[in-house]
Amino acid sequence: MKILITGGNGQLGRELANQYKEKKGIDLILTYSSDLDITSTKDVFSFVNLNKPDVIINCAALTVVDKCETEIEMAYKINTIGPKNLATAANEIGAEIVQVSTDYVFGGNLNKSLTEFDEVNPQTIYGKTKLQGEILVKNLNSKHYIVRTAWLYGDGKNFVKTMIDLSKTNKTLKVVNDQRGTPTSTVDLARVIIKLVEDKNYGLYHCTCKGESTWYEFTKEIFRLKGIATEVLPCSTDELQRPAKRPEYSVLRNYMLELTTGDITRTWQEAIKEYLL
């Protein structure tokens, strides 16, 4: 089976490549923004037609949530037009498409874990552009897997590394304690994506690790596991004044996984322990 991964240098792209390299019978094509710009319709169509993958896994995105608020056109190009190009090109050759999406498609003000059947209501440009990406992929290629995740960390730039770096120069750190979500390892997300593709289980899925946390609680656990002495103090979202509004509560429930292939994700505590130790 020939698999094309876009955004090969990102956190998820790297982890998927690692896991696929362990599997037999996989012909992997990894692309980077420098050799395949997913926003270019012409380039995407000629690349896909030349290489004829069976599955395209789109790991490319503009993930800097605050940047999306000012670089709106760029955000729509990468998070909406890119997936549209890939879904259409895949459809033309009969290939499947995996689109990765986000908890930010939800409004974040319902105090319950969100399933694939809950109503979306994005509050940020990032959330809006990712939602439109989902919709186009769904409409343009019936062989789609749309997988929403959250609070992702792996090999690359992420919250965990930022906090560890900050601990080196700070005796105390204030961390937000009024946003709830679920830290998710790229290891768990990649395992689920690979299984969905193996099972040909098309559709919309939520995929985060199990459980929930605030950024403050997550940081406390990171520092405990690493033996970092920096004191962590809880603060409110309002104290930080970020350009993009963050959802207060965006815990996803992996309901469709539970109902179909089974939920093989770990608790967020198990996953972060393996990542750090």
Ligand X SMILES: NC(=O)c1ccc[n+]([C@@H]2O[C@H](COP(=O)([O-])OP(=O)(O)OC[C@H]3O[C@@H](n4cnc5c(N)ncnc54)[C@H](OP(=O)(O)O)[C@@H]3O)[C@@H](O)[C@H]2O)c1
The DSSP output letter for 7 is S
Determine, following the binding rule CB under 6 A, whether residue 33 of this chain makes contact with ligand X.
Answer: yes
Task: Tell me the H-state helices in the chain.
Answer: 11-21, 41-51, 65-70, 72-76, 82-92, 125-140, 159-167, 186-199, 215-226, 237-240, 255-259, 268-276
Determine, following the binding rule CB under 6 A, whether residue 39 of this chain makes contact with ligand X.
Answer: yes
Judged by CB under 6 A, the chain residues 48 through 87 that form the site for ligand X are: 59-63, 78, 82
Ramachandran bin of 158, using left for φ above 0, alpha for ψ from -120 to 50, beta for the remaining angles: beta
Determine which residue in the list 4, 5, 11, 75 makes contact with ligand X, applying CB under 6 A: 11
Neighbours of 37 (CB within 10 A): 19
The three-state secondary structure class of 59 is coil
Determine, following the binding rule CB under 6 A, whether residue 201 of this chain makes contact with ligand X.
Answer: no
Which residue's CB is nearer to ligand X, number 43 or number 270?
A: 43
Nearest in space to 206 (alpha carbons), one of 193, 222, 187: 193
Which residue's CB is nearer to ligand X, number 59 or number 233?
A: 59
Which residue's CB is nearer to ligand X, number 6 or number 227?
A: 6
CB 15 within 8 A of CB 186: yes
Determine, following the binding rule CB under 6 A, whether residue 38 of this chain makes contact with ligand X.
Answer: yes
**Nearest distance in Å: CB 129, ligand X:** 9
d(Cα 97, Cα 45) in Å, to the nearest integer? 14
**Nearest distance in Å: CB 12, ligand X:** 4
Determine, following the binding rule CB under 6 A, whether residue 156 of this chain makes contact with ligand X.
Answer: yes
d(Cα 115, Cα 176) in Å, to the nearest integer? 25
Which residue's CB is nearer to ligand X, number 233 or number 242?
A: 242
- State yes or no: is 126 an active-site residue: yes
Determine, following the binding rule CB under 6 A, whether residue 183 of this chain makes contact with ligand X.
Answer: no
Determine which residue in the list 4, 7, 87, 207 makes contact with ligand X, applying CB under 6 A: 7
Which residue's CB is nearer to ligand X, number 165 or number 231?
A: 165
Tell me the Cα Rg of the chain.
18
Judged by CB under 6 A, the chain residues 96 through 155 that form the site for ligand X are: 100, 102, 130, 149-152
**Residues shown for the chain:** 277
User: Which residues in this chain contact ligand X in the complex, by CB under 6 A?
Assistant: 6-7, 9-12, 32-33, 36-39, 59-63, 78, 82, 100, 102, 130, 149-152, 156
